[in-house]
Amino acid sequence: MRTYSAKLGDIKREWHVVDAAGIPLGRLASEVAQLIRGKHKPMFTPHMDTGDYVIVVNADKVKLTGKKLEQKKYFRHSGYPGGVKLINYDVLLKKKPTFVIEKAVKGMLPHNRLGRAMIQKLKVYTGPSHKHEAQEPKPYTLKYAVPDARPHRGQGRQVEGDASGS
């Protein structure tokens, strides 16, 4: 049996719409990166761009769990001495919510020219509307990125008949 390698003419691209409201950032980014890479298709070939286009809406409502809003920082450097710029993610999420998702997805793609071509298929919008109705995108439900309903550290679960809550 021979190994299948996708040809450029075999690739069929689709458009997907993903709603980011209430979804943890990392889980959203990992599934969007898989769609963009084409890993959900049986014809996936690592050295070819077999992925689909992805539209992410409600980027301003993405969720960061734990204390990441206060503690996680975006780092950049100008190249000059003393040129370090650190921005907290709560500030970054208010100023540029689309950048937060783009950066998370880009970090999960290959770091070469193929990854740079793949990131062009990601379209991120802050509100619930987008300008790609002509492409007839299909709504995509994320498999692993369900809205996080479990309590976080310090909140604990209340069990019926538990006397610690009174």
Tokens of 129: 């509307």
| Whether residue 73 has pLDDT greater than 90 | yes
Longest dimension (CA), the chain: 67
Structural tokens at position 58: 């409600």
DSSP for 15-45, written as a single string? EEEEE-TT-BHHHHHHHHHHHHHTTTSTT--
Of 64, 77, 53, 74, give the one whose Cα is nearest residue 20. Answer: 64
For residues 109-134, average pLDDT? 96
| pLDDT at residue number 143 | 86
pLDDT at 145: 64
End-to-end Cα distance, the chain: 67
Task: Calculate mean pLDDT across residues 44-66.
Answer: 95
Give me the architecture of the 13-64+96-142 domain, per CATH. Answer: Alpha-Beta Complex (3.90)
Q: Please identify which residue in the block is written with the tokens 């990992």.
A: 30
Of residues 11 and 163, more confidently modeled: 11
pLDDT band of residue 144 (cuts 50, 70, 90) is confident
pTM above 0.75, yes or no: yes
- Point out the least confidently predicted range of 39-43, 80-84, 151-155: 151-155
Domain locations along the chain:
13-64+96-142
Q: How far apart are CA 96 and CA 94, in angstroms?
A: 6
Q: Which of 18, 13, 23 is nearest to 123 (CA)?
A: 18
pLDDT for position 66: 92
Residue 46: CA count within 13 A, CB half-sphere: 4
| Residue 17 β-bridge partners | 55, 139
Instruction: Please report the pLDDT score of residue 90 as a whole number.
Output: 94
Identify whether the C-beta of residue 59 lies closer than 8 Å to the C-beta of residue 17: no
The span from the CA of 52 to the CA of 37, in Å, is 7
